[in-house]
Amino acid sequence: MASDFSAAYWEQNPDALLVLSPQGIVLEWNPAAERIFGYVQAEAEGRSILDLIVPTDRAHEEEAIRAEALRLGTAVHETVRRRKDGSLVHVNISTKAVLDAGGQVLYFLSSKKDVTQLKVQRDAKLLEARFRDLLESTPDAIVMVNVTGRIVLVNSQAERVFGYQRADLLGLPVEVLLPQRYRGTHLGRRSGFFAQPRTRTMGAGLELYGLRQDGSEFPVEISLSPIDTEEGAMVMSAIRDITDRKKADQKFKDLLEAAPDAMVIVNRDGRIVLVNSQAVRLFGWSRDELLGQQIELLVPARFSGSHPAHRRGFFAEPRSRSMGAGLELHGLRKDGSEFPVEISLSPLETEEGLFVSSAIRDVTERKRIEQALREKNLELENAALVKDRFLASMSHELRTPLNAIIGFTGTLLMKLPGPLNTEQEKQLRIVQTGARHLLSLINDLLDVAKLGANKATLNLELVDCRAVVEEVVATLSPEAARKTLVFTSDLPSTPVVLRSDRRAMSQILINLVGNAIKFTQQGSVHLTLKDDVLRAGGRMVVVCVQDTGPGIPADDQTRLFEAFSRVESADRRHQEGTGLGLHLSRKLADALGGRIHFESTEEQGSTFILELPEPRE
């Protein structure tokens, strides 16, 4: 009967019953111990009580209890012990030393009663009497927790925020107020806080959420403060529902995303705290790569050294302004490329302090348009200059031959009898020369006008360049022979076929060769056709016109291709010409996709080079 009673007492006792060796090794472990501490009997037996359920900072306490039981026979203490999951429970410990006949310790019999709820109730009454008025005056939800993580006190704001009645919360683990996904890690964080208690913000920079009784979640900010009381160490949690702020933040982020410009928000330290998708797209960095970086990451190296001083100056005198007004500002992309920007700065006051919001606009396209407008204005100015020079030139170019035609024609109309005398024949030649000059001038003007208005139509076809050059040589050879010039050509033995405009090519070459013959008084003119010449822009057909004439003075070379430009050297002063031949030739070459350039030394002659692009067909 006694044996049955002992077994029943051991198995059914609501308190944890442990038999310990003199060294604190667990010899026996009853079912209540399994329930209270979470270890089954097989896990517990054979292990040191210190490793099993005694918190590290209370190891000396367990040894002191056994020493007291050995000295007095029985030791009674109220303290905390650790469960298998790491949580703490308040226990009332009663330990008795069992001795043999010689007074030596056989084992210790220890009873551990879970008094967590009793402790909570007792502490709640004491703490409520002491802190209730203070806690009710705070705007935040206050939840006070003891070392075991049990709620011992809440204020009315906590009841309202979490939807619980005060009586329903007392004694519950604080994790009941957290979503399930946070509970596993929270136990370790709570233990860490009690190990190193200090006032701090919990989860700074993290998205934290509370859990209401109805299962709904809401975003929170939590501040933790340790409190030493007569009942032991406590932690007071001030919990703020930031749902409205989150909504406002989201509206602010939505506004940022809706902004047409790249938006970058920076704190006082110059670190990026917020960017919109336009900034991500503009600078080429991902959002995660930008957040937390210094704003100088987006500034070219030549500006980044001075930028922190400008930033500090803005925070010292915060006001909305345009940054670098009148300056050429540039942004720096992730790939190292730069681009012109305009930046507007605005101070932003928040609960976290002063920030600066930067609106950054890529003005690459606008700069391109401005440059195009500047070039167009310059072109118009040049056109106006050309017009003025045209009018001045025409007043001379047209008046002189017309006066000659009118005067000499009047003389002829006198109908003097007999054949023409020498003077009359000379006057007729002058009339003829003036008329030809006018015709050439009018034709050149028409061609220039067409090219200037983009009305000239090119007839692109397969052209044998060698045949064109041979025609030009045949056409101008009589004029060279009249001046007793040596006129030679160096042409390929096979046709040089190119897709081009035959008339335009012929006109260019007649102008170039005609000028060479006209301005060369003695010596030679040499014409060369080269096929398949390699240039930076590809393969070219090249025609060179070389003369031994007077050359072009250095001062005149820069304006040689301008309209109505004529070189007024002694050798050229009395030569006929409109001043449009070279200007028209360059425009025709440009229209064909080629170019004309020259090399000339005064008194040593000139070489004009026409380059026309391949491929051939």
pTM score, whole prediction? 0.45
Residue 1 has a pLDDT of 42
Q: Which of 312, 311, 264 is nearest to 292 (CA)?
A: 264
Cβ-contact 64, 79 below 8 angstroms: no
Residue 242 has a pLDDT of 84
Cβ-contact 478, 518 below 8 angstroms: no
CA angle 332, 336, 341 (to 5 degrees): 25
Q: Quote the tokens at residue 478.
A: 């009589």
Residue 188 has a pLDDT of 72
Q: Is 107 helix (H, G, I), strand (E, B) or coil?
A: strand
Residue 25 has a pLDDT of 94
- The Cβ of residue 422 has, within 10 Å, a number of other Cβ atoms equal to 7
Once rounded to an integer, what is the mean pLDDT over residues 489-494? 91
Q: Quote the tokens at residue 585.
A: 């030739």
Q: Is the pLDDT of residue 497 over 50?
A: yes
Residue-wise pLDDT for 156-172, tens only, equals 899 999 999 988 888 88
Q: Tell me how far apart the alpha carbons of residues 548 and 574 are, in angstroms, rounded to a whole number.
A: 19
DSSP β-bridge partners for residue 355: 348
Confidence of residue 379 (pLDDT cuts 50, 70, 90): confident
Once rounded to an integer, what is the mean pLDDT over residues 475-485? 87
Residue-wise pLDDT for 297-309, tens only, equals 898 888 877 888 8
Q: Is the pLDDT of residue 545 over 90?
A: yes
**DSSP readout, 286-302?**
-HHHHTTSBGGGGS-HH
Q: Tell me how far apart the alpha carbons of residues 124 and 151 are, in angstroms, rounded to a whole number.
A: 9
Once rounded to an integer, what is the mean pLDDT over residues 217-242? 84
Confidence of residue 81 (pLDDT cuts 50, 70, 90): very high
Residue-wise pLDDT for 92-148, tens only, equals 999 999 998 888 888 999 999 988 888 877 877 777 777 777 778 888 899 988 888
Q: Could you tell me how many residues make up the chain? A: 617
Averaged pLDDT score across all residues of the chain: 81
Q: Quote the tokens at residue 353.
A: 């302090």
Residue-wise pLDDT for 576-610, tens only, equals 555 677 888 888 888 888 999 999 988 889 999 99
Cβ-contact 447, 602 below 8 angstroms: no
Cβ-contact 221, 204 below 8 angstroms: no
Residue 526 has a pLDDT of 94
Q: Tell me how far apart the alpha carbons of residues 270 and 75 are, in angstroms, rounded to a whole number.
A: 62
Longest dimension (CA), the chain: 179
Confidence of residue 221 (pLDDT cuts 50, 70, 90): confident
**Nearby residues of 11 by Cβ (< 8 Å), 6 or more positions away:** 30, 31
Based on the number of CB atoms within 10 Å of its own CB, is 410 exposed (0-12), middle (13-18) or buried (19 or more)? exposed
Residue 573 has a pLDDT of 46
Q: Tell me how far apart the alpha carbons of residues 172 and 161 are, in angstroms, rounded to a whole number.
A: 17
Confidence of residue 88 (pLDDT cuts 50, 70, 90): confident
Quote the distance between the C-alpha of residue 512 and its chain's center. Answer: 53
Q: Tell me how far apart the alpha carbons of residues 378 and 385 are, in angstroms, rounded to a whole number.
A: 10
Residue 324 has a pLDDT of 53
Q: Which of 139, 343, 156, 96 is nearest to 242 (CA)?
A: 139
Confidence of residue 614 (pLDDT cuts 50, 70, 90): confident
As separate numbers, helices (DSSP H) first and strands (DSSP E) second, the chain gives 21, 24
C-alpha atoms less than 13 angstroms from C-alpha of 360 in its C-beta half-sphere: 28
Residue-wise pLDDT for 311-321, tens only, equals 787 787 777 77
Confidence of residue 617 (pLDDT cuts 50, 70, 90): very low
Q: Is 315 helix (H, G, I), strand (E, B) or coil?
A: helix
Q: Quote the tokens at residue 184.
A: 């596993």
Residue 510 has a pLDDT of 85
Cβ-contact 344, 358 below 8 angstroms: yes
CA angle 72, 78, 69 (to 5 degrees): 15
Q: Is the pLDDT of residue 291 over 80?
A: yes
Q: Is the pLDDT of residue 60 over 50?
A: yes
**Higher pLDDT pick, 391 / 560:** 560
